[in-house]
Chains A and B, each alone.
Chain A
Amino acid sequence: MFSADQGIYWFVVFAVLALVSGLLFLMTPMIFAPRRRSAIKEETFEAGQLPPGAKRIRFALQYYAYLLLFLVFDVTIMFLFVWAYSFSSEGTYGFVYPLLLILVLIPPLIFTAKLSKAMDMW
């Protein structure tokens, strides 16, 4: 594990402090605020209208492709970070491969961009 001087314990203290203060904020209105239930108040808000139809409807997935691309690029960037780390040290043999990795990933990027340009609406 880490040594103490890196401050991992203080990180934990910070996280606990943030959590507890957030909880405190959440608890306050439970104690002080009024709680009056009514049917209209608890209705889903749709800009004044009563919501028609089912609430959890399914939406179209126009930009889903970008999410998949994001996953692939995320992995790639993690390799690039290792490469960037050893960038400044001279004469690394495998200098080229991550750059080639990026080159390989450009065609899917163009493909996806073209594809979603065809759908210019949300």
Chain B
Amino acid sequence: MDYLIPIAILAFTSLMAIMALESRSLVYGAISLGGFFLGLSLFFFYLDLLYLAIFQLLVYVGAVSVLILFAVMVIGEPAKKVPTPRYGGLGFLGGLLVALAAVFIALFLLFSFLNLAADTLFQIMLYVSPVVVLLAFVILFIGEPRQRSGYRFKAFGILGASLVFAGFIGVISYLGTVPSYEGSVTFNLVDLADSLLDQYGLLILVLGLLLAAAAFGAVALAKKEEEEQ
């Protein structure tokens, strides 16, 4: 099966991404973020873009995730335990609507992947689902106005994410007419070197200025904190 390897990488990477955001401990989250970067570099390896994969590994897994892990360890775990808010009537309705909207969006994705666009069910969904989503938003805004509940934010997050994903999938399903160039790519760094050094040479310099500015800023922040001690 052709898609076995990329699907495995996709499963690993998306699991890591979700765990990075949802794991209870920040340290485990940071480790999962490292796993996400690793999975993305596996994608680059699969796409034969070797230098990109190595760049990703060295900069993200080797440096950024180490730095993030360090920062998370310094900050430490949040000590307080967030009490889980109870759902009132409106909150319950909102959650139900979010679930409904998610189901609609999932069906929409399924149909657009299977190219069943002409179906009448699809037409119905196309008109109904925005209404449902709008209702969900409204109820989420009204429900539990005084309480900063974690669930409400989560519901917003799920709604927004599924809307974005649905939009992307809609675009991609129209992209089906663009033929995918399946020819094999031999590893070739000359292209990259030419393009990077000749065409984007000045951009490298600009990037250097930006990096220097970032370094100055970050170090200055660290310095200020040292003086306080």
Q: Report if A and B touch in the complex (beta carbons < 8 A).
A: yes
Q: CB within 8 Å of B: which residues of A?
A: 1, 56, 58-62, 64-65, 67-72, 74-76, 78-79, 82-83, 85-86, 92-98, 100-101, 104-105, 107-108, 111-112, 115, 119
| Chain B contacts with A in 38-96, Cβ cutoff 8 A | 45-46, 48, 51, 55, 58-59, 62-64, 66-67, 70, 74, 76
Q: List 15 A-B contacts (CB under 8 A).
A: A58-B74, A60-B229, A62-B226, A69-B215, A69-B219, A72-B211, A75-B59, A78-B58, A95-B197, A104-B205, A104-B209, A105-B208, A107-B212, A112-B215, A115-B219
* Closest partner residue, chain B, to A59 (CB atom): B74
Interface pair B222/A68, CB less than 8 Å apart:
yes
Interface pair B215/A68, CB less than 8 Å apart:
yes
Interface pair B196/A64, CB less than 8 Å apart:
no
Interface pair A71/B212, CB less than 8 Å apart:
no
* Closest partner residue, chain B, to A86 (CB atom): B193
CB distance from A54 to the nearest CB of B (A): 10
CB distance from B130 to the nearest CB of A (A): 42
Count residues of chain B with CB under 8 A from any CB of chain A: 43
CB distance from B147 to the nearest CB of A (A): 31
* Closest partner residue, chain A, to B197 (CB atom): A94
* Closest partner residue, chain B, to A112 (CB atom): B219
CB distance from B8 to the nearest CB of A (A): 13
Q: Mark B195-216, 1 if CB is under 8 A from A, else 0.
A: 0111001101101110110111
A79 and B215 alpha carbons, distance in the complex (Å):
17
Specify which chain A residues have a CB less than 8 angstroms from the CB of B209 in the assembled complex: 104
Q: CB within 8 Å of A: which residues of B?
A: 5, 45-46, 48, 51, 55, 58-59, 62-64, 66-67, 70, 74, 76, 189-190, 192-194, 196-198, 201-202, 204-205, 207-209, 211-212, 214-216, 218-219, 222-223, 225-226, 229
A70 and B218 alpha carbons, distance in the complex (Å):
12
- Given A65-B222, A115-B219: 12 more A-B contacts, CB < 8 Å: A1-B48, A68-B219, A74-B62, A93-B198, A95-B197, A96-B201, A97-B202, A100-B208, A101-B207, A101-B208, A107-B216, A108-B219
